[in-house]
Amino acid sequence: MRQAVLFDLDGTLLDRDASVEQFVSVQYERLAEHLSHVPKSDYISRFIELNCHGHVWKDKVYQGLVAEFSIETISWQTLLEDYEMRFQFHCVPFQSLPEMLTELRQQGYLLGIITNGRGEFQARAIDGLGIRDYFDVVLISEVEQVRKPELEIFQRALKRLGVAASDSVFVGDHPEADIAGAKGAMMKTIWKRNSSWTEAKDADAIIDQLDEIPSILKQF
Ligand SMILES: [Mg+2]
C-alpha cells in the first residue's frame, strides 16, 4: 500500500514573507519613475503591513498604497497586474525544499499539494519554485471550488492519489485550515511552526525545518 505526504504551499514550502519582500523591493526599483516620491523602505514596510502574511488579497494592498502614498502616475490595477505576472520570479523556498522532496520520492511516497488561493497564481508560484514535477496531485481551492479546512478538498486529493487517509500525512503552517482540516479528514498531521500562531493543538508532530520531515514520517 503506497503512502502519501501532502503539503500546504504558502508558509510551508514557499517562504511567503521572504518572497513578498524580495518582489516588492524589485517592483519598487523597476517602477521607480512612478514611486520615487515614496521612500523605498516605507513602500516595502507598508506593503508588508497591509499584506498581513498574505491573508489580504493584493487588490486591497495596492489600493491602500496608492491612496496613502498619493501615487498618481500608475494605477493600483497596473501594480496588481505586475504583481500577478511577476511574483513567480521571486518565489523563495524554505531551506532544504528540493532535497526533502527528492528524499521522500526516493522512499516511494506519493506527493501532493493542497493550497487555498487563485488557480493561475498558485500554479505559477509552484512553477516558480521549480517543484511541479515532484507532485502527483495539486489541488488549488479556486479550481476545486472548495477550500481548506473543508474535508472535501482533503478527501478529493486522497481519492486522486488512491491512498487511504490512514496512509497519509498533511504538512502545513495554519492550525485551522491545514492541521484541524486534515485531522478532520483522518490524516496524520505535521505542523510547521511559525510566528503567526502559538500552537496547533491537532498536530501529531511539530517541525521548524523541512528536513525534519523524513525522520518524523518513519516514527508514525
Ligand atoms: Mg500556509
**Per-residue pLDDT tens for 115-164?**
999 999 999 999 999 999 999 999 999 999 999 999 999 999 999 999 99
Share of the chain above pLDDT 90, in %: 90
Three-class SS state of 191: strand
**What residue has cell string 501532502?**
6
| Superfamily of segment(s) 4-15+92-219 | HAD superfamily/HAD-like (3.40.50.1000)
What are the pLDDT digits (tens) for 56-90? 889 999 999 999 999 999 999 999 999 999 999 99
DSSP string of 40-64? Answer: HHHHHHHHHHHHGGGTS-HHHHHHH
DSSP string of 77-120? Answer: HHHHHHHHHHGGGGPPBPTTHHHHHHHHHHTT-EEEEEE-S-HH
Q: How far does residue 51's CA lie from ligand 1's centre (Å)?
A: 14
- What does the domain layout of the chain look like in residue ranges? 4-15+92-219, 16-90
Q: How far does residue 116's CA lie from ligand 1's centre (Å)?
A: 8
Q: How far does residue 152's CA lie from ligand 1's centre (Å)?
A: 18
